[in-house]
Amino acid sequence: YGPQNDVTLKMPAFEWVHVQLHQQKGMISLSPPTICNSAKSVNVSFKTPTRGEIAHLVIDSTGLKVFGEGEWKVKKHGQERRRIWRKLHLAVDSKTHEIICADLSLNNVTDSEAFPGLIRQTHRKIRSAAADGAYDTRLCHDELRRKKISALIPPRKGAGYWPGEYADRNRAVANQRMTGSNARWKWTTDYNRRSIAETAMYRVKQLFGGSLTLRDYDGQVAEAMALVRALNKMTKAGIPESVRIA
């Protein structure tokens, strides 16, 4: 068959659909799977091959554009009213750079609201979990206590002590009051490992773009999980190592 007889439709990031149009007759009643319909039924798993204890789990989130314009268009012609985003939440092993947990939520879901569902995706033992001040809520701390994970979450400026079993947070609050900031606490607890989660977000956007192409929400979830799975495969193949030379 000649190349003009094949139509190739690309399902972003994770599937190719090939439709042979070698006959015009008899095709009227045939309903080939469309990209959107196929995406709704795709269930993408990104289970990691590694096992065992995780020393430091680092958490962050970023926005992925679903409907919107490029930066140049916004500067030149202004911004349209309708801009829809989804939030990608990631939990990353700071040692292996593997994404251990991932979730996609609506843009009106806060980081702290998404946190319990995110952290429950893994049953591996975790020594500590680091996240930024947006996660400084009882909801997040209670989930970490339930899983017996040490919380590395900087308290907000002027934060007060919490009664009850919030030893990790209250120590951070005490340190903030003694030193006037969270800087020393971050240094002594190795909190700055959390930047590895930011690096993972950067890699997602640089390698796969900062947007989702499918309109159906289930399809968007599958697309996002496919990106996570692809990034984990690339990480397993090897990532650059930085070595200080001076």
Count Cβ neighbours within 10 Å for each residue of 140-159 and write b for 16 or more, e otherwise: bbebbbeeebebbbbbeeeb
- The amino acid sitting at 113 is E
Helices (H), 41-86: 71-77
pTM value?
0.74
Question: From start to end of the chain, where are the E strands?
Answer: 6-11, 15-20, 54-67, 84-93, 99-106, 126-130, 150-152
Q: Which of 18, 46, 22, 11 is nearest to 32 (CA)?
A: 18
Residues 103 and 121: their CA atoms lie apart, in Å, by 9
Phi, psi dihedral angles at 172 (to 5 degrees): -65, -40
Taking the C-alpha atoms of residue 98 and residue 92, their distance in angstroms, rounded to an integer, is 6
Please answer whether residues 107 and 86 qualify as being in contact, where contact means their C-beta atoms are separated by less than 8 angstroms: yes
Q: For the chain, what percent of residues have pLDDT higher than 90? A: 54
Amino acid letter, residue 48: T
Give residues with Cβ within 8 angstroms of 114, minimum separation 6: 61, 87, 89, 103, 105
- pLDDT tens-place string over residues 184-208: 999 999 999 999 999 999 998 888 8
- The 10s digit of each residue's pLDDT in 107-157 is 899 999 999 999 999 999 999 999 999 999 999 999 999 999 999 999 999
